[in-house]
Structure 1
Amino acid sequence: MRILYFIFALIFCSVSAQKILPLDTLKLKEAKDMLADDYGNLYIYTNKNFSLTKYDSLGKQIGKMMLTVPYKIQSVQNPLSVPLFSENAQEMKFVDQNLNEIQKVDFKQKFGFIKMAYAEDLQQLWLLDESTKRLIQYNFRNETTINSYPFDASFDDLMDLLVYENKIYVLTRKRILVYTFKFEKVFEAQVENGKRFRRENEFILVITDNSILRYVPEKEMVKIFEDPNAQIVDKNTLSYFEIKANNLYLYSLEKNKETKQQTEPDPKQKDTERDVEKSDEKRAEPDTPEGKLEKKTQEIEDKNPAESSLQKLIEDTSEVQTVGV
């Protein structure tokens, strides 16, 4: 009965954890990429006309930006300043919560060819300069180079770059690589259809076309979400998102946590079940004094329930103990 309860709880919570969000299927069909911020707002990038559109959680359009060349959206974790990098235009834009441009950083005048850029904060960029084979730490507020490190590597299908706690993370379509600033490789693993990094506090995540992986420092990549039928996946701190069959689905992390807790037996319940099992085992042993006492008590009750008084039970108990001990 308990097993059936857990099965029903799992099915109920799995279904309730999934929610279809109200967004036009035509817009989702044309989406090349999708990101979600922690307020539940969605950013849809369309490669067809290089447009970036922002919607709230109810599907209402908040802002739209038309671009002339392809741009890569780095992150929307700070919706007040969203960085977009264009290898074609050799520049990085920052847009506000309504997708209005608030700043542009032009790399053409100061650097060779920037293959990838990563905005560490609101004043520093990390630039991978392919022409000079260097990784450059650049303060774009005062237009000064802070540091420059030799980085002699050629990456096919380079997708993203991230720098965190003296480690350099490089993502291609097929691999994740982690380096020190001395260009020493400390980790490498295969990934399928890698798209971008996402950092949540000390955790480094990799977003692919239909899965999300978490990096275990210098050990392995652990898959935390996957749907082989998804077109696009993403997450914020509360939920997973996916576009599948031109519909947008949300999976609550809290619901998933509740499901796991409900399907795992409580430790106290486990102890109680164990005690009951031991009690049953002891009761099933007829050669022990306790077993003889139980047998004698049952015989008295079967013969004459009225005689099964406390005094009668005590007398027979003494007799059994004398024989058995």
Structure 2
Amino acid sequence: MRILPLIFIFIFCAATAQKSLPLDTLKLKEAKDMLADDYGSIYIYKNKDFSFTKYDSLGKQIGQLMFTVPYKVQNVQNPLTVALFSENAQEMKFVDQNMNEIQRLDFKQKFGFIRMAYAEDLQQLWLLDDSTKRLIQYNFRNETTINSYPFDASFEDLMDLLVFENKVYILTRKHIRVYSLKFEKLFEAPVENGKRFRRENEFILVITNNSILKYIPEKEMVKVFEDPDAKIVDKNTSSYFEIKGNKLYLYSLEKSKETKLRTEPEPKEKTTEQTIDHPAEKATEDSSEKPVEKIEEKPKGDKVLEKLIEETSEVQAVGV
């Protein structure tokens, strides 16, 4: 009987399929942030009690962490090792798929004041040290500093940090900035209510309160998803998610992908038609393919006619 109120409701909206996911509205009401992994699991972070809870796709709780200070969840793209950073505690934690802590890193003993930390992989961290104004590449497995770069960037309203292909991405509530490792600014654009980065292969996405933006390298930011009425939005590799009206909705990307595949061949067909018509336009501006054939055959007919006239003239001359 409990499942009946949680039946999926399908509503079509702007060419994407929307469906309601079975999560209790009480669990979503006080959510400060929400993330979704590629297995359909949902992660809810609440500022009220500093709790971080994981639910499966049916709304069943898998695990929960209770903190005494705020933590920032980096991402859940690798649900086997989720990284969380606390500026207050000056530490980073890694938890497994069941929300069990598997490692803790204490920055207080080795560094100054770390404003933001980014786990590049399961060995390396990038740390923004506010006290020394440096960006530090740190191997936490053997506790060694690999590189250190002067990085006197403004840390006001800093929301997230990402380093990819020798570029440093800084996200604040109001801006995205991209730097080289030499502290050269490569790009800057305004962002409303920026929250965190998400990297999908070579693409960098920005998650805000109610939209998802895609970074076009050193050119612009493009909105790939937006709902002004949404409280929180997120994305995995196949869907967009949003919390709206204390309900969780999913928008599948499959339909829009199929539409793209259907419309892509059309420009190719037009290009082929233009290529075929092009030689005919060179031959004559007003002619089509059929007149071109006649023009080619006409000289042959004239030669035959001239030959017949000559032969007739010769016969008449002999007869005379």
Cα RMSD, aligned residues only: 2.2
Q: Quick one: distance in 2 between partners of 1:46 and 1:12?
A: 30
Residue 49 of structure 1 aligns to a residue whose secondary structure is coil
The 1:265–1:112 alpha-carbon spacing in structure 2 relative to 1, beyond 3 Å, is: closer
Structure 2 residue aligned with 1:258: 258
Structure 2 residue aligned with 1:210: 210
What displacement does 1:147 show? 0.4
Aligned counterparts, 1:113-124, within 5 A? 113-124=113-124
Structure 2 residue aligned with 1:148: 148
What displacement does 1:204 show? 0.3
Q: Deviations over 1:17-61 (max 9, x none)?
A: 101000000111110000000111110001110000001111111
Is 1:112 equivalent to 2:112 in the alignment? yes
What displacement does 1:268 show? 9.5
What displacement does 1:94 show? 0.1
Structure 2 residue aligned with 1:219: 219
What displacement does 1:267 show? 6.4
Is 1:193 equivalent to 2:189 in the alignment? no
My pick for the range that moved more, 151-160 or 207-216, is 151-160
What displacement does 1:266 show? 5.4
Structure 2 residue aligned with 1:128: 128
What displacement does 1:269 show? 9.6
Residue 257 of structure 1 aligns to a residue whose secondary structure is helix
Structure 2 residue aligned with 1:290: none
Any conservation in 1 of the 2:15–2:256 contact (CA below 8 Å)? no
What displacement does 1:153 show? 1.8
Structure 1 residue aligned with 2:20: 20
Structure 1 residue aligned with 2:285: none
The 1:133–1:229 alpha-carbon spacing in structure 2 relative to 1, beyond 3 Å, is: same
Structure 2 residue aligned with 1:55: 55
Any conservation in 2 of the 1:151–1:183 contact (CA below 8 Å)? yes
Q: Deviations over 1:259-296 (max 9, x none)?
A: 5566889569989xxxxxxxxxxxxxxxxxxxxxxxxx
Q: Quick one: distance in 2 between partners of 1:268 and 1:164?
A: 35
Q: Quick one: distance in 2 between partners of 1:102 and 1:12?
A: 42
Residue 17 of structure 1 aligns to a residue whose secondary structure is strand
Could you tell me which amino acid in structure 1 is paired with residue 144 of structure 2? T
Q: Deviations over 1:229-254 (max 9, x none)?
A: 00000000000000000010000011
Any conservation in 2 of the 1:38–1:237 contact (CA below 8 Å)? yes
Any conservation in 1 of the 2:135–2:148 contact (CA below 8 Å)? yes
Could you tell me which amino acid in structure 2 is paired with residue 71 of structure 1? Y
The 1:184–1:22 alpha-carbon spacing in structure 2 relative to 1, beyond 3 Å, is: same
Any conservation in 2 of the 1:174–1:194 contact (CA below 8 Å)? yes
Residue 155 of structure 1 aligns to a residue whose secondary structure is coil
Q: Quick one: distance in 1 between partners of 2:126 and 2:138?
A: 6
Structure 1 residue aligned with 2:35: 35
What displacement does 1:156 show? 1.2
The 1:184–1:270 alpha-carbon spacing in structure 2 relative to 1, beyond 3 Å, is: closer
The 1:268–1:123 alpha-carbon spacing in structure 2 relative to 1, beyond 3 Å, is: closer
Q: Quick one: distance in 2 between partners of 1:139 and 1:260?
A: 43
What displacement does 1:255 show? 1.9
Residue 192 of structure 1 aligns to a residue whose secondary structure is coil
Residue 256 of structure 1 aligns to a residue whose secondary structure is helix
Structure 2 unaligned regions, length at least 5: 1-10, 272-320
What displacement does 1:170 show? 0.2
What displacement does 1:14 show? 5.0
Structure 1 residue aligned with 2:274: none
Residue 68 of structure 2 aligns to a residue whose secondary structure is coil
What displacement does 1:258 show? 2.9
The 1:182–1:27 alpha-carbon spacing in structure 2 relative to 1, beyond 3 Å, is: same
Could you tell me which amino acid in structure 1 is paired with residue 20 of structure 2? I
Q: Quick one: distance in 1 between partners of 2:195 and 2:238?
A: 21
Residue 197 of structure 2 aligns to a residue whose secondary structure is strand
What displacement does 1:214 show? 0.5
Shift >6 Å, 4+ stretches: 262-265, 267-271
Residue 19 of structure 1 aligns to a residue whose secondary structure is strand
Structure 2 residue aligned with 1:292: none
Any conservation in 1 of the 2:169–2:179 contact (CA below 8 Å)? yes
Determine what percentage of the aligned residue pairs are the same residue.
82
Any conservation in 1 of the 2:238–2:254 contact (CA below 8 Å)? yes
Structure 1 residue aligned with 2:164: 164
Any conservation in 1 of the 2:195–2:209 contact (CA below 8 Å)? yes
Residue 99 of structure 2 aligns to a residue whose secondary structure is coil
Any conservation in 2 of the 1:166–1:180 contact (CA below 8 Å)? yes
**How many corresponding residue pairs?**
263
Q: Quick one: distance in 1 between partners of 2:65 and 2:26?
A: 18
Q: Quick one: distance in 1 between partners of 2:256 and 2:24?
A: 27
The 1:129–1:12 alpha-carbon spacing in structure 2 relative to 1, beyond 3 Å, is: closer
Q: Quick one: distance in 2 between partners of 1:150 and 1:16?
A: 45
Structure 2 residue aligned with 1:233: 233
Q: Quick one: distance in 2 between partners of 1:51 and 1:265?
A: 49
Q: Quick one: distance in 1 between partners of 2:88 and 2:268?
A: 61
